[in-house]
Amino acid sequence: MGNASSSMVEGKGDVVMNLTSGKKLTLMDVLFVPEIGKNLVSTSLLSKKGFKLVFESDKLVLTKGGAFIGKGYMSEGLFKINVFNDNLGHVNYRSMYKMANLEPQTYKEAMSTPEAVNDEINSIMQNHTWELVNLPPGNKPIGCKWIFKRKLQTNGTIDKYKAHLVAKGYRQKEGLDFFDTYSPVTRITSIRMLIAIAAIHNFEIHQMDVKITFLNGDLDEEIYMEQPKGFVVNGREKKVCRLIKSLYGLKQAPKQWHEKFDHTMLLMVSR
């Protein structure tokens, strides 16, 4: 130890580091010392394994072969990266699984902090995304579900949970429930062209992040959806939601979003 003291080593095994990129980094022959409160990894060890470490203010960026691997943030004088032990006999694998999966696993667990769900529902209601109607004969409503994600602070601790109501669009059939689709992912060639045009004409490029996943575009087709769990209206339990605007998960969602965005931008330019 750096303070001339000694501690008992109770095990030896591999450590799997869960990185922010979703990748895993395995360190071999790591000593297990219960008295040490932090899992310490030296930069020289990572460098020997072919990793490049770049320090940016309070952030550490880890790359290998030019590819992004993960990042950590400064906390108590150390750069913190999420880590859990693997292949050590004393480890409880059920606890380890819970450590690695910090997203809410059930609706009840997520609703212990209902602010995220309420924010999403309020946003949907303000946008007049649906109306409650009787299900027309011959129609079958699609389902919906809640998707919960954790939002972290810069020091790696959980700040809050974000919730999205997602339509089960995989039950839609092409030619029956929808006709045209649009890729939600921009091609890299399109991004390069945009940057090139901006450079040629000396334009400024602004990047924005909208509060909800998709700005709800108006739908061209009639789509019926079950009422979301936890928000079934009393006395109207048999009603279904007739979607007026698109929800994330629908096959039409990317197309409707881009059509509305293009229309709005063209109106602004023409003024």
Where do the domains of the chain lie? 11-100, 107-270
102-151 pLDDT tens trace? 556 666 666 666 777 888 888 888 888 899 999 999 888 888 888 877 77
User: Which is more confident, 151 or 203?
Assistant: 203
Task: Select from 104, 101, 228 the least CA-distant residue to 161.
Answer: 104
| Window from 57-61, 124-128, 129-133, 251-255 with minimum mean pLDDT | 251-255
Mean of pLDDT values over 18-45 = 67
pTM: 0.45
Helices (H), the chain: 43-48, 93-100, 107-110, 115-126, 188-200, 253-270
**Distances in Å between the alpha carbon of 230 and those of 103, 239, 261, 266?**
19, 15, 31, 39
User: Which is more confident, 94 or 116?
Assistant: 116
Buried b (16+ CB within 10 A) or exposed e, 65-79: eeeebbbbbbeeeeb
pLDDT score, position 156: 56
Return the structure tokens found at 110: 């997520």
Return the structure tokens found at 154: 């810069």
Q: Which residues, 6+ apart, have CB-to-CB distance to 51 below 8 Å?
A: 62, 63, 64, 69
211-247 pLDDT tens trace? 554 455 566 678 888 998 888 899 999 999 998 887 7
Mean of pLDDT values over 72-77 = 70
Mean of pLDDT values over 161-188 = 62
Helix (H, G, I), strand (E, B) or coil at 193: helix
Q: How does the average pLDDT of the chain come out, rounded?
A: 71
pLDDT score, position 202: 92
Q: Would you say 7 and 55 are in contact if contact means Cβ atoms under 8 Å apart?
A: no
Mean of pLDDT values over 21-39 = 67
User: Which is more confident, 1 or 130?
Assistant: 130
pLDDT score, position 103: 58
With a pLDDT cut of 90, the percent of the chain lying above it is: 8
pLDDT score, position 133: 93
pLDDT score, position 201: 93
User: Which is more confident, 193 or 157?
Assistant: 193
* Dist. CA 232–CA 238, nearest whole Å: 9
With a pLDDT cut of 70, the percent of the chain lying above it is: 52
**Distances in Å between the alpha carbon of 194 and those of 31, 60, 204, 207?**
51, 30, 11, 12
Instruction: Give yes or no for residue 176 having a pLDDT over 50.
Output: no
Instruction: Give yes or no for residue 160 having a pLDDT over 90.
Output: no
Strand ordering across the sheet containing 224-225: 130-133, 240-243, 224-225
